[in-house]
Amino acid sequence: MVTEEEKIFAKNFNIEDHPDVPARLPPHLELQRTRVLCKNDAPIHTSSVQYSGAYKFVGVDNSVKLESFSENFRVDVISEDGMELEFDMIGIDAAIANAFRRILLAELPTMAIEKVFVANNTSVVQDEVLAQRMGLIPIAADPRLFEYLSENDQPNEKNTIVFKLHAKCEKGEPRLKVLTKELIWLPNGSELIKESGGSTSKPRTYTSFSRSQDSFPEFANNPITPSYPDILIAKLGPGQEIELEAHAVKGIGKTHAKWSPVATAWYRMLPEVILLKEFEGEDAEKLVKACAEKVFDIEDMGNGRKKATVARPRQCTLCRECLSEEFGEPIVKPILKGEDKSKREWVDNVALRRVKNHFIFKIESTGSLPPDVLFTEAVKILEDKCERVIAVLS
C-alpha cells in the first residue's frame, strides 16, 4: 500500500538532487564537451554534444534551459566602423550561430539591379556581360523602405529604383573608365519611351511612378547612389559609347548572390593555446620565432632566465607549427628489428584548442545597411521563422 505521502515524495524525487550525485562532469569529459582539440594531424571532438541526456550516466544534466542561457550569453563588441563589425558571441551553440550567419548571407533583402535596358552599347563589353556586372554593384538604399516586385506588379516608386548611365569617349581622347559614380538616380522613374501601336496615346515608359521618390522624406536630401563611387563598370575606347537604364529591385541572396547584403559574414571559434611545459632560454626563443602570428612572448624572470608565455592566443591561425617535432618531447622506444630508425615519435608540449561556445563573429556590410542593423534583422528573421511554425501548429 502506497501512502499519499510516499506518492508525493516519489513525484518530487529527483536523483540529481541527491548529495552523492556529482553535478559536474569529470575534467576529461568537460574538456571534450567544451573544446575542440587540435592535434597535429586533425582536430578531434569537433561536434557539440547536444543531447540533453548525454551525460546521464555520470548524473549530469546536459540540457540548456532558457534561464541558464540568458544568464550566460554575452556579446562583446570588438570593433565597429559603419561597414565592418567584429564581435564576440559567448555562450551559444554553433547551430544557432550558424543560423544567423546563413540568414545574413542568403535571406536578408537588399536592392540590386535586375533589369538593364541598353539603348546603345558600342563598348567591347557585351550587353549581357555588362548587365551582369551592373547587377553586382552594391546599392546604398535601405531595403526596408521598398516592397518586393511580384510578377504581376507594375514597377512603381515603391518597388523599383531607376538609374541612368550615359558615358561616351570622344574621338581623339584617351581611354575612358566608366565608374559607378556615373550612375544617375532617376527619382521620377524610367525615361525610356515604350514603343506602342497607337500614336495618339500618351507615351508610356518602362515604369509607372505615381510620385517622385524625391518626395519620400528618407530620400529628400539624400539621393540614392551605389555604395562606392569608384567601382569600374567598363572601359571605353575613342568613339565608344554606353547608354542604358538600370532598374534595381528588392530580392534576397538565396535567389542570386547580388542581393546578399554582406561581402561576407563569418565566425571562428576562440583559439586557446596552452603550454604544457615551461619553455625556457633557447627553447623559448625558438618557439616565439616559429609562430608567424606572434602568439608567444618572452617573459624575463630575472637573473637572465627567460620564459615563453602565451600573449595573444586570439591571433592563432592553427598553422600547427608549434606542434612540430622540434617542440615535442621525444618518446624513447626500443627500436624493433626492421623498423625505420629515422621515424621517431613525440608528444606535444603545446595544446591547441578551440572554445566551442565562443564565436568571433565578423560582418562586412556592402553598404545597404550598417552591419549591426543587419545582425538584428537576421535575428528577427529567425524569430519570424519560429513564429510561422508555431502559428501553423496551433
Partner 1 sequence: MEHGSFTNDRNASFKLPQEDHTLANAVRFVLNQDPRVVSTGYSIPHPSLECVNIQVQTTGDPAREVFKDACQELMLMNRHVRSVFEKAVADYKADEQERLKEAKEALKDQMESMDIEKNN
Task: Give which of ligand SF4, partner 1, none residue 262 binds (C-beta under 5 to 8 Å, depending on kind).
Answer: none
Is 382 near partner 1 (CB under 8 A)? yes
Q: What is the DSSP letter of 280?
A: B
Beta carbon of residue 38, minimum distance to ligand SF4 (angstroms, whole number)? 8
Please identify, using beta-carbon distances, which residue of 10 and 390 lies nearer to partner 1.
390
Nearest distance, CB of residue 272 and ligand SF4, angstroms: 10
Q: Which residue pairs, CB below 8 angstroms and at least 24 apart, start in 31-36?
A: 33/62, 33/356, 34/355, 34/356, 34/357, 35/272, 35/353, 35/354, 35/355, 35/356, 36/269, 36/353, 36/354, 36/356
Which partner, partner 1, ligand SF4, none, binds residue 293 by CB below 5 to 8 Å per kind?
Answer: ligand SF4
- 351 forms bridges with which residues in the sheet? 274
Distance CA 50, CA 73 (A): 17
- Binding-site member from 36, 60, 103, 288 for partner 1 (CB under 8 A): 103
Binding range to partner 1, per CB under 8 A, among 127-135, 172-180, 302-310, 380-388: 380-388
From 52-60, 192-200, 286-294, 359-367, give the range in contact with ligand SF4 by CB under 6 A: 286-294
Contact pick of 76, 128, 214, 345 for partner 1 (by CB under 8 A): 76
Report the alpha-carbon angle 226-205-215, nearest 5: 55
Which helix (DSSP H) or strand (DSSP E) does residue 362 occupy? strand 350-365
Phi and psi at 35, nearest 5°, equal -130, 145
At 323 the three-state DSSP class reads: helix
User: Please, which residues have CB within 8 angstroms of residue 130's CB and are 6 or more apart in sequence?
Assistant: 116, 118, 121, 123, 233, 234, 242, 244
Indicate which single residue of 291, 308, 363, 369 sits in contact with ligand SF4 (rule: CB under 6 A).
291
Q: What are all long-range contacts of 90-93, with beta carbons under 8 Å and residues at least 24 apart?
A: 90/357, 90/358, 90/359, 91/357, 91/358, 92/357, 92/359, 93/48, 93/50, 93/64, 93/357
Cβ–Cβ < 8 Å for 196, 188: no
Q: Which CB atom, from 50 or from 315, has the smaller least distance to ligand SF4?
A: 315
Name the residue with cell 567544451. 34
Interface size with partner 1, residues (CB under 8 A) = 43
Binding string to ligand SF4 for residues 328 to 367, with x set by CB under 6 A, is what?
------------------------x---------------
| Nearer Cβ to ligand SF4 (232/274) | 274
Chosen from partner 1, ligand SF4, none, partner binding at 380 (C-beta under 5 to 8 Å by type): partner 1
If one asks whether residue 392 binds partner 1 (CB under 8 A), the answer comes out as: yes
Among residues 104, 322, 360, 369, the one that binds ligand SF4 under rule CB under 6 A: 322
Q: Does 275 bind ligand SF4 (CB under 6 A)?
A: no
Minimal distance, residue 104 CB to partner 1, in Å: 10
CB of residue 117 vs ligand SF4: minimum separation in angstroms? 52
Residues 28-67 that bind partner 1 (CB under 8 A): 50-53, 61-64, 66
Q: How far is CA 121 from the centre of its chain?
A: 37
Return d(Cα 302, Cα 286) in angstroms, integer.
20
**Is 269 a binder of ligand SF4 (CB under 6 A)?**
no
Q: Exactly one of 7, 39, 74, 333 binds partner 1 (CB under 8 A); which one?
A: 74
Query: How many degrees, rounded to 5, is the angle at CA 336 between CA 330 and CA 337?
Result: 140
The answer to whether 93 contacts partner 1 (rule: CB under 8 A) is yes
CA 268 to each of CA 10, 50, 375: distance values in angstroms, whole numbers, following the listed order = 46, 19, 16
- Among 326, 334, 327, 335, smallest CA distance to 275 is for 327
Does 224 bind ligand SF4 (CB under 6 A)? Our answer is no
Least distance from partner 1 to the Cβ atom of residue 46, Å: 15
Question: Are the beta carbons of 243 and 120 closer than 8 angstroms?
Answer: yes
* Chain residues in the site for partner 1 (CB under 8 A): 50-53, 61-64, 66, 69-70, 73-77, 80, 85, 87, 92-93, 95-96, 98-99, 102-103, 107, 372, 375-376, 379-380, 382-383, 385-387, 389-390, 392-394
* Chain residues in the site for ligand SF4 (CB under 6 A): 273, 290-291, 293, 295, 316-322, 352
